[in-house]
Amino acid sequence: MTNVRSIKSLYLYHNWPAWYQFLTATFCHANWNHLSSNLFFLYIFGKLVEEEEGSFALWLSYILTGIGANLVSWLILPRNAVSVGASGAVFGLFAISVLVKMSWDWRKILEVLILGQFVIERVMEAAQASTAISGTFRGGNSMQGVNHIAHLSGALVGVVLVWLLSRVPSQHPEGEVSTLERKKGRIQ
């Protein structure tokens, strides 16, 4: 049986966070609904990022957007807040998947618009539902609400990550071209 106190030590407590909690909180969830909704969207957007950029880029993107979302949440939210969940990283992967798929092909634009609208609505519904059902964290205090700061900052970190990586020339084996290289127009 897992010791719940040990798991709760991985949550991001804003009043006095340990350095590792900025990462570990992205792997912890308030309840089953919270976990399953994040896993569903992680599967969708993770798969898109992995198909376009590879598995290493997927993991790196998840970690950087998750840490970035938690860092911004810690800076902005009150000190009595507790952050937990992968939603910031999921929103980051959503932004990355949209940006690497973007092109002026009308089918791609339509795909992004439809997928984007669907995803934003579903992620927000799932986050609100998991908040309503969630139990207590510490001392009987229930979760106060959805961390929209983490959602927005995770997406923003994803945008910044794509922008930064689009500025870095990459070396590929002969014949291989990444999506970002094609987007930069360096290789046709």
Half-sphere exposure of 131 (CA within 13 A, CB side): 15
Query: pLDDT tens track of the chain, all 188 residues?
Result: 345 677 888 999 999 999 999 999 999 988 888 888 899 989 999 999 999 889 999 999 999 999 999 999 999 999 999 999 999 999 999 999 888 877 667 676 676 667 666 666 665 665 555 444 444 333 333 345 778 889 889 999 998 998 888 777 766 555 555 665 665 554 44
Which tokens is 145 given?
Answer: 């609400």
From residue 2, alpha-carbon distances to 6, 8, 85, 125, 147 in Å are 8, 11, 18, 29, 26
Residue 183, pLDDT score: 59
CB contact at 8 A, 92 and 161: yes
Residues taking part in catalysis: 87, 151
Tell me how crowded residue 59 is: count the other CB atoms within 10 A of its CB. 13
Half-sphere exposure of 44 (CA within 13 A, CB side): 18
| pTM beyond cutoff 0.75 | no
Cα three-residue angle 101-40-103, rounded to 5 degrees = 5
Fill in the amino acid letter for 169: P
Nearest alpha-carbon partner for 155 in 45, 81, 79, 53: 45
Nearest alpha-carbon partner for 12 in 89, 94, 90, 69: 69
CB contact at 8 A, 129 and 33: yes
Which tokens is 2 given?
Answer: 């897992």
CB contact at 8 A, 88 and 26: yes
